[in-house]
Amino acid sequence: MKMSKFYLLLFLLPSLALILIFGIYPVVYNGFLSVKDVTLISYIRGTARDVGPLNYKAILDDPLFWRSLYNTIIFTLLSIVLQMVVGFLLALLFNYEFPLKGFLQALVMIPWVMPIMVSGSFFRWFLSDNGFLNNFLASLNWIQEPVRWISSERLVIYSLTAVNIWLGIPFNFILLYTGMQQIPEELYEGADIDGASGWQKVLHITLPMLRPVIIATFVLGCILTFKVFDLVWIITKGGPGGASHLLSTFSYSLAFDRFQFGKSAAVLILMQIIVVLFVGFSSRIRLEER
């Protein structure tokens, strides 16, 4: 006997409840906060007054917001491009059989399986003015004084980006490598018969067949990187002088350092708008390719 649609819907209720509670409600409530003057005192007393778009105006007039937006764009673009390039090259390498392949694959995955707290704490020490990297370079007489990797307003965002690239390479590698495993071996055998070189096979077989996986990896990578918070907060807390703030850390700082919850919510809403626009644009590209 077939189960009625009503009973089938009952099985979906737990999932729908989770989506409503942890997905839709926070977004709606965050939008509600973004148009109110919410401070710690007004939140406790429940006396927050409506200010309309003034929180958004205050955010857009804040130079630190634009610095955070610039940092987020640089951080995301450099991370995604280099993670995908290195991940793709590693996937090409491991697509062949060679000694110690399994062991080396495990080494490649180490950054991905390490807790972010451990990675962040390690690189905070590694890149500090008196950390391992500066001491190592000084021992080789390559530098005369410590390089301010994370204490310089000019260098800090690029140092954090380099760390994030290292952490994200395994994610790109495993997706691209899995995609390569699905490419029929007969295509490469036919190319060998026609006398194609290794790079010709990559350009005319691997890349075209891997295009859906590349697009999906790119979109997922952009979303995950755009909202990175913990790595930056552990290493620099947005410093020095706010020079390494991303939009995520800037929003957190507004909420829990300045107790300006309304402005913090406005930053998050702007982040959500950017992500939605990006996902919509990437979805349109995928549909056009079909």
Mind listing the pLDDT tens digit for each residue in 265-274?
A: 999 999 999 9
Residue 206 has pLDDT above 80, yes or no: yes
Provide the mean pLDDT of the chain: 89
> Would the pTM count as exceeding 0.75?
yes
Residue 59, pLDDT above cutoff 80: yes
Confidence of residue 279 (pLDDT cuts 50, 70, 90): confident
Residue 147, token pair as written in the block: 């390089």
Contact indicator for 127, 235 with CB cutoff of 8 Å: yes
pLDDT of res. 3? 57
pLDDT at 282 over 80: no
DSSP state of 240: S
How confident is the model at residue 2, as a pLDDT? Answer: 52
Split at pLDDT 50, 70, 90, the class of 55 is very high
Beta strands per DSSP E along 9-52: 36-37, 49-50
Q: Kindly state the average pLDDT of the residues 112-120.
A: 91
Q: Are 235 and 124 in contact (CB under 8 A)?
A: yes
Length of the chain: 290
The answer, yes or no, to whether residue 9 has pLDDT greater than 90, is: no
**Nearest C-alpha neighbor of 70 from the set 230, 246, 277, 268:** 246
Q: Is the CB of residue 91 less than 8 Å from the CB of residue 152?
A: no
- What's the confidence (pLDDT) of residue 287? 57
Average pLDDT of the residues in 164-190: 91
| 3-state secondary structure at position 25 | helix
The pLDDT score that the predictor gives to residue 1 is 43
Q: How confident is the model at residue 286 (pLDDT cuts 50, 70, 90)?
A: low
**282 vs 127, residue with greater confidence:** 127
**Which value, to the nearest 10 degrees, does the dihedral of the CA atoms of residues 184, 186, 189, 194 take?**
-110
CB atoms within 10 A of CB 113: 8
Q: How confident is the model at residue 163 (pLDDT cuts 50, 70, 90)?
A: very high
**Domain limits of the chain?**
62-259
Q: How confident is the model at residue 249 (pLDDT cuts 50, 70, 90)?
A: very high
Given phi > 0 = left and psi -120 to 50 = alpha, else beta, which region is 46? Answer: left
Residue 210, pLDDT above cutoff 70: yes
Query: In which band, very low, low, confident or very high, does the pLDDT at 288 lie, cut at 50, 70 and 90?
Result: low
Q: Which of 85-99, 153-167, 194-208 has the highest mean pLDDT?
A: 153-167
Q: What is the pLDDT of residue 202?
A: 87
Overall average pLDDT of the 199-219 stretch: 89
Second CATH level (architecture) for the domain 62-259? Orthogonal Bundle (1.10)
**What are the tokens at 288?**
């056009």
